[in-house]
């Protein structure tokens, strides 16, 4: 038996079955040129393929918001102009023009360092295949598998992933991609156990090898013996029983055994995400990432466009919704908002720093949020705050927006709450003074862990050093919750750590009042939470904070 391991599983769960290798056909693109009199016909063929793609994507986007972004991209005038130019001026047939225009965009996006923009290259590949399928009536995908298959692929497009037959496919492993890739996100939404970024998978696994995919521990067991199979069959039965109980309890309150209630919220990126999230028995939206409205646009969204998006989200949610103001910079840039290249973009001009510098852009967003607050319980979250001065400046601009709306007779929530995202060492150490002025805290452990430990979470060479169980991270969380509670304020968490079942007891013991996570994790965390004693959790957290390493903390958790 051979075991392959990855540091970060993409989608939790256990799958057992035969390896089925994904074999895409090599698509042959006709190289023939077209006569001048054929050009209008070829352009019309392209337009028909686009209209068909729009109809397909509109239907798909009802089930998954990733395809809403594809729908906007397939409508984009930049792509249309590039294809039509190749047909009209270079005499290319439609298939070749589509392939070439998309390939140029794929090359541009693929060369970018920004992780989010790199993912656009995968989106364009998917759109290219959809358009070519519509033009030729032939799909390049070739997926054949029997019962209980574990699909192995170099990579999969979102369309391929969404079309998997889940009655046969039990798990998914890809060579490429990371835990933030569309494949990982879709696998989570489908509750499909998945591992991504397994570099050696294509060399180590053969067709029909028997595999155990352990999405909890990030392991692939190749051709295990009977004893291992028996062990995992028992684990699988246990998890199935747990899942049954989770479904039974998902409508119950998130309370500890001794009565402490913890609100469980969802992290979302757009209105489509909200629509899906409300099906998971959430207490509200703990993090609405407003930057996705900007990232999925080819220009700055207008105040009206933002207002309509926030209003629709608030109405769909029907509960509390926290909107984080624009958080770009670092690994997220806008193609229509040029930024100077920085040696350390994660330490540079980003998030609230951009908003405070670009005041009119900031006011457009704040006015849109305020207008939407007349239609639901909306809270505002400021990212990357490092000082009281920044918070006061942001609130001052918010008051200006309120005065403008009042003068225009436009309704808004005059007592809207404003919070601080705690994601820098400075905000941890200034938590006391920030708590006096903020209405709530939300701890962003993804960036906080990175900044506290001075570890680039995207660097594979030091990935093992990036660990939110590190005592420095835990002690920081405790400092923040203590400061918030001294002022009668709530402290929540919205990073990946909030959705980690192994950390739930610890986080409750550290004093967190709210946890916000990917919607699919809410039932898991609620199930764990309802079996925790708050008093015991406090003792556990106290012991964990005394440790000197992440490994020692994990040992304490395993013993308790």
The set of catalytic residues is 182, 494
Beta-sheet pairing, 219-222 with 263-268: unpaired
Is the separation of the CB atoms in 476 and 527 below 8 Å? no
Give the residue numbers of the binding site for Mg(2+). 423, 447
Strands 149-153, 417-422: pairing is unpaired
From the annotation, which residues make up the binding site for phosphoenolpyruvate? Answer: 289, 324, 446-447, 457
Please give the structure tokens belonging to residue 144: 């054949």
Beta bridge partners of 442: 421, 492
- Across 421-453, b (16+ Cβ under 10 Å) vs e yields bbbbebbbebbeebbeebbbbbbbbbbbbbbbb
Rounded (10°) angle between helices 182-189 and 115-136:
80
Work out the number of other CB atoms within 10 angstroms of the CB of residue 341: 7
Q: How far apart are CA 321 and CA 375, in angstroms?
A: 11
- Other C-beta atoms closer than 10 Å to the C-beta of 51 total 12
List the one residue out of 400, 455, 390, 398 whose CA is nearest residue 422: 390
Residue 181 and residue 156 in contact, taking contact as beta carbons nearer than 8 Å: no
- The angle that helices 522-529 and 226-249 make with each other, rounded to 10 degrees, is 90
Instruction: Tell me the angle at which helices 445-453 and 471-486 cross, rounded to the nearest 10 degrees.
Output: 120
3-state secondary structure of 430: coil
The DSSP bridge partners found for residue 20 are: 151
Residues contacting 104, CB < 8 A, separation 6+: 82
Q: How far apart are CA 313 and CA 91, in angstroms?
A: 46
Alpha-carbon separation of residue 221 from 179, 242, 459 (angstroms)? 20, 23, 26
Q: How far is CA 161 from CA 143, 166, 182, 254, 518, in A?
A: 11, 10, 9, 32, 19
Q: Residue 356: which region, alpha, beta or left (left: phi > 0; alpha: psi -120 to 50)?
A: alpha
φ, ψ at 172 (rounded to 5°): -140, 135
- 3-state DSSP helix/strand/coil percent for the chain, to nearest 5? 55, 15, 30
| Residue positions forming the annotated binding site | 289, 324, 423, 446-447, 457
Q: 515 Cβ partners below 8 Å, 6+ apart?
A: 262, 263, 264, 265, 286, 492, 493, 498, 499, 504, 507, 525
* Interatomic CA distance for residues 328 and 291, integer angstroms: 7
Phi, psi of 422 (to 5 degrees): -90, 105
């Amino acid at each position: 038996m051979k075991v392959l391991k990855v540091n970060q599983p993409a989608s939790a769960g256990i799958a057992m079955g035969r390896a089925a290798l994904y074999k895409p056909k090599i698509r042959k693109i006709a190289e023939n040129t077209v006569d001048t009199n054929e050009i209008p016909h070829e352009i019309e063929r392209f337009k028909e393929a686009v209209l068909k793609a729009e109809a397909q994507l509109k239907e798909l986007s009802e089930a998954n918001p990733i395809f809403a972004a594809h729908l906007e991209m397939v409508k984009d005038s930049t792509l249309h102009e590039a294809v039509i130019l190749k047909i009209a001026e270079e005499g290319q047939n439609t298939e070749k023009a589509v392939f070439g225009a998309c390939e140029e965009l794929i090359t541009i996006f693929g060369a970018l360092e920004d992780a989010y923009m790199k993912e656009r290259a995968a989106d364009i590949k998917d759109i290219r295949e959809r358009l070519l399928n519509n033009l030729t009536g032939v799909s390049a995908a070739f997926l054949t598998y029997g019962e209980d298959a574990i699909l192995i692929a170099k990579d999969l497009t979102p369309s391929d992933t969404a079309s998997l037959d889940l009655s046969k496919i039990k798990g998914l492993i890809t060579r490429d991609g990371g835990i933030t890739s569309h494949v990982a996100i879709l696998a989570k939404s489908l509750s499909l156990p998945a591992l991504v970024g397994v570099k050696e998978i294509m060399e180590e696994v053969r067709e029909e090898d028997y595999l155990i995919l352990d999405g909890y521990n990030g392991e692939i067991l190749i051709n295990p013996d009977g004893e291992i199979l028996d062990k995992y069959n028992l684990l699988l039965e246990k998890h199935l029983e747990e899942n049954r109980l989770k479904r039974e309890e998902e409508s119950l309150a998130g309370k500890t055994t001794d009565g402490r209630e913890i609100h469980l919220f969802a992290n979302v990126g757009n209105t489509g995400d909200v629509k899906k999230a409300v099906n998971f028995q959430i207490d509200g939206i703990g993090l609405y990432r407003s930057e996705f409205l900007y990232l999925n646009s080819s220009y700055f969204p207008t105040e009206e466009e933002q207002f309509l998006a926030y209003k629709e989200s608030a109405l769909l949610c029907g509960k509390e919704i926290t909107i984080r103001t624009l958080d770009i910079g670092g690994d997220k840039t806008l193609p229509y908002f040029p930024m100077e290249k920085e040696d350390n973009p994660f330490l540079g001009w980003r998030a609230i720093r951009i908003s405070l510098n670009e005041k009119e852009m900031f006011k457009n967003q704040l006015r849109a949020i305020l207008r939407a607050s007349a239609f639901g319980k909306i809270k505002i979250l400021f990212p990357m705050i490092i000082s009281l001065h920044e918070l006061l400046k942001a609130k001052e601009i918010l008051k200006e927006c309120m005065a403008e709306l009042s003068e225009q007779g436009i309704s808004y929530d005059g007592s809207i709450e404003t919070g601080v995202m705690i994601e820098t060492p400075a905000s941890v150490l200034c938590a006391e003074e920030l708590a006096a002025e903020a209405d709530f805290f939300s701890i962003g452990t993804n960036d906080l862990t990175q900044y506290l430990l001075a570890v680039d979470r995207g660097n594979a060479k030091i990935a093992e050093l990036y660990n939110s169980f590190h005592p420095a991270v835990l002690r920081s969380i405790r400092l923040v919750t203590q400061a918030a509670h001294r002022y009668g304020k709530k402290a929540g968490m919205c990073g990946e750590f909030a959705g980690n079942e192994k950390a739930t007891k610890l986080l409750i013991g550290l004093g967190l009042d709210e946890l916000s996570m990917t919607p699919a994790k809410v039932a898991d965390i609620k199930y764990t939470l309802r079996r925790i004693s708050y008093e015991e959790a406090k003792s556990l957290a106290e012991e964990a904070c005394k440790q000197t390493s992440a490994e020692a903390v994990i040992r304490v958790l395993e013993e308790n």
